[in-house]
Chains A and B, each alone.
Chain A
Amino acid sequence: EPEVTQTPSHQVTQMGQEVILRCVPISNHLYFYWYRQILGQKVEFLVSFYNNEISEKSEIFDDQFSVERPDGSNFTLKIRSTKLEDSAMYFCASTERPNVGTQYFGPGTRLLVL
């Protein structure tokens, strides 16, 4: 069964550094998402992406965040200058169709900012 994959599984970085989290969505999916879960808190929506554009974003997704589909398979989340409070599990998801399609989630990247 096709799966969403994410790399790396764990990343440790220093405050102020840039990080790029990578996702490979399911191959025939067209809609992509990033969510995050701070330890002990709810899974929170960050951004959705379709046709090389952001289609929806939350108030969490400020100017330090960006997303990109650099090629036909990868979908990346960049955090420009990490803060301690960016430490979280970051989940990528994809779906074939928006609104009625099921979002399939990747295993997550655990980011620790020191």
Chain B
Amino acid sequence: AQSVSQHNHHVILSEAASLELGCNYSYGGTVNLFWYVQYPGQHLQLLLKYFSGDPLVKGIKGFEAEFIKSKFSFNLRKPSVQWSDTAEYFCAVTEAGRRALTFGSGTRLQVQP
């Protein structure tokens, strides 16, 4: 069974700092990749997704992620975080042809003003 690893469990940054959250997955076949965000008291929301094509994917709110197949990675980045980015971030993967999302353990991001 595939697994998804998020290396950072809790990240604290100051506003305007750059962000990179790591995500690695274990499955060797074709995958679809997602980053979801959960703001305090809200639903899981999709930030961005990768199915095919350009491995650099841009999402909402200035986030982007890069799929590096050779490293089985899909790291999330943002050049300059804001206080409103405080949330929990989840990387998730599906194997092509399957519907089940496999989630990482999540990274809690705290942005200090």
Contacts and interface: CB of A to CB of B under 8 A. Distances in A.
Interface of A: 3-4, 31, 33, 35, 41-45, 48, 55-56, 58, 91, 98-100, 102-108
Nearest to B3: A42
Interface string B12-47: 000000000000000000001010100000111110
Contact of A33 (B90, B96, B99): B99
Interface residues of B, number: 24
Contact of B99 (A4, A99, A104, A106): A99
B96 to A, nearest CB: 7
Interface of B: 32, 34, 36, 42-46, 49, 51, 90, 92, 94, 96-106
A48 B94 contact: no
B49 A102 contact: yes
Nearest to B102: A45
A4 B88 CA distance: 20
Contact of B46 (A3, A45, A100, A102): A102
A58 B102 CA distance: 11
